[in-house]
Amino acid sequence: MITDPDVYTRGVPYEHLASLRRESPVTRVDDFWAVLRHSDVKHVLKNPKLFSSRLGGTQIRDPATEQDLGYVRRMMLNMDPPEHARLRGLLTKAFTPRAVGRLTERIHGWARELIAEVAADGRCDFAAVAADLPLLTLAEVFGIPEQDRRLMYDWSNRVIGYQDADYAVSATVEAGEVTDLARAALAVRPVPGPDGSMPDPRTRPGMPDLYAYATALGEYKRRHPGDDVMSNLMGHVGSDTDGGRVSIAEFENLFWLFSVAGNETLRNGIPGGMLALLSHPDQYRRLLADRSLLPGAVEEMLRWWTPVMHFRRTATEDVVLSDVDIRAGEKVVVWFSAANRDESVFEDPDRFDIGRTPNDHVTFGHGPHFCLGAQLARVQLRAMFEAVLDLLGEVELAGEPVRLRSNFQNGLKSLPIRW
């Protein structure tokens, strides 16, 4: 049940996850071990020597071929120490205080502009409005021309939404709207086959347009560095001899990671946070009356909605977890949606409480792979809801939300609201 994407079109099966956790916090599902307890999830994530990201990648579904496995292993998300630490360290240095400060200021301005554009209409699809903020932010991080930012919308749709018929074939960008750099990428964008199927987006051949753009952009940044984070990474960190620079291939994979993972999580987290407030109007009014509660409200949105529902590791040796014997080579999947509703950590865990404290959620992961974009994610959530509260006041649902068909991302394709 918890791997059936159709289930999630009706909502995350929290009751079923809780029932499984009470029976056994580490339980066998299909061909993997599902880790459902908060403390066990943390234990797995902070021990890469026992639970590897690299061996089988971080998705439940195995790569189809050894070549595909080799491809995913080159991504930072699927690396183990020391390779992961090296690349993460370089990326952390690239997010200079100046770069982050400029991003923060611009994020608040963009959020107000996006909400101001719809304020007079009295209604909107909030999922569509919210989608633009992470795109604008990521375009700034990479120094991507603003008119090209919608490419990331289609790429993330195809990768994250491969189980959803609408998202799997996403192609909303037209050649006349974008730069020459983007037009060259669109020329190799895959199209559905005779049976309507698309190439596997979790392989390099399945995303030729993304990689064409990333390669051209990386080479451009080498020659013409700007003030953006990726220019810092490509041209201003270390030297070629001390491992201080990244290769074009590493840049391409970082581009994939940010364009897809960095986009989709916020794109679902922002409307998810709104749906949490709309489902609990008393909490909405509480926040409207006291803006000092916003930082805590954002943390509760992240816990209660949990955009990324799980990640996989692979056991490197025989190990015992919560009295369960796990063999070397077996899949171990940490289920964030379950851990964030663990009653041993969160009192009345199904209750949405913007004043909840402490709030030790694992939405951004834990350990060496803790989400590098967590700070920017929080900034975007706060900025968007500040703008909503200031410019729209109290809003309400104007129709049925439409959920993404996915067992990986807790996503909303549409969230109609009015005010």
For residue 394, tell me if it sits in a domain: yes
Torsion, CA 154, CA 57, CA 75, CA 319, rounded to 10: 140
- Provide the angle, in degrees to the nearest 10, between the axes of the packed helices 263-278 and 126-142: 150
- Beta bridge mates, 37: none
Rounded mean pLDDT, 344-353: 97
- Output the pLDDT for position 243: 54
Taken in order 95, 88, 155, 333, the sign of the CA dihedral is: negative
For residue 353, tell me if it sits in a domain: no
Residue 100's CB: how many other CB atoms inside 10 A? 14
Rounded mean pLDDT, 356-376: 95
- Nearest partner of 389 among 254, 287, 255, judged by Cα: 287
Is the per-residue pLDDT at 240 higher than 80? no
Phi, psi values for residue 319, rounded to 5°: -150, 155
For residue 258, tell me if it sits in a domain: yes
Is the per-residue pLDDT at 409 higher than 70? yes
Query: Could you tell me the residue range of the domain that residue 397 belongs to?
Result: 69-298+358-418
Whether residue 207 contacts residue 159, with contact meaning beta carbons closer than 8 Å, is answered with: yes
Whether residue 154 contacts residue 161, with contact meaning beta carbons closer than 8 Å, is answered with: no
For residue 4, tell me if it sits in a domain: no
Find the CATH number of the domain harbouring 216: 1.10.630.10
Taken in order 355, 283, 121, 178, the sign of the CA dihedral is: positive
Is the per-residue pLDDT at 241 higher than 50? no
- Tens-place pLDDT, residues 81-95: 999 998 888 888 888
For residue 242, tell me if it sits in a domain: yes
Residue type at 323 in one-letter notation: D
Whether residue 227 contacts residue 99, with contact meaning beta carbons closer than 8 Å, is answered with: yes
Q: Report the percent of the chain where pLDDT is more than 90.
A: 71
Interatomic CA distance for residues 39 and 345, integer angstroms? 9
CA distances from 149 to 264, 294, 313 (A): 13, 28, 32
- Output the pLDDT for position 219: 83
Going edge to edge, which strands form the sheet with 396-397? 123-125, 416-418, 396-397
Residue 158's CB: how many other CB atoms inside 10 A? 26
Phi, psi values for residue 400, rounded to 5°: -80, 130
For residue 322, tell me if it sits in a domain: no
Is the per-residue pLDDT at 238 higher than 70? no
- Output the pLDDT for position 221: 82
Counting the structural domains of the chain, the total is 1
For residue 399, tell me if it sits in a domain: yes
* Contacts of 170 by beta carbon, 8 Å cutoff, 6+ apart: 153, 154, 157, 158, 161
- Tens-place pLDDT, residues 38-78: 999 999 999 999 999 999 999 999 988 998 898 889 889 99
- Tens-place pLDDT, residues 212-234: 999 888 888 888 888 888 888 77
Rounded mean pLDDT, 6-14: 96
- Tens-place pLDDT, residues 276-302: 999 999 999 999 999 999 999 999 999
For residue 9, tell me if it sits in a domain: no
End-to-end CA gap in the chain: 37
Residue type at 264 in one-letter notation: E
Residue type at 309 in one-letter notation: M
Whether residue 128 contacts residue 407, with contact meaning beta carbons closer than 8 Å, is answered with: no
- Provide the angle, in degrees to the nearest 10, between the axes of the packed helices 248-256 and 83-94: 80
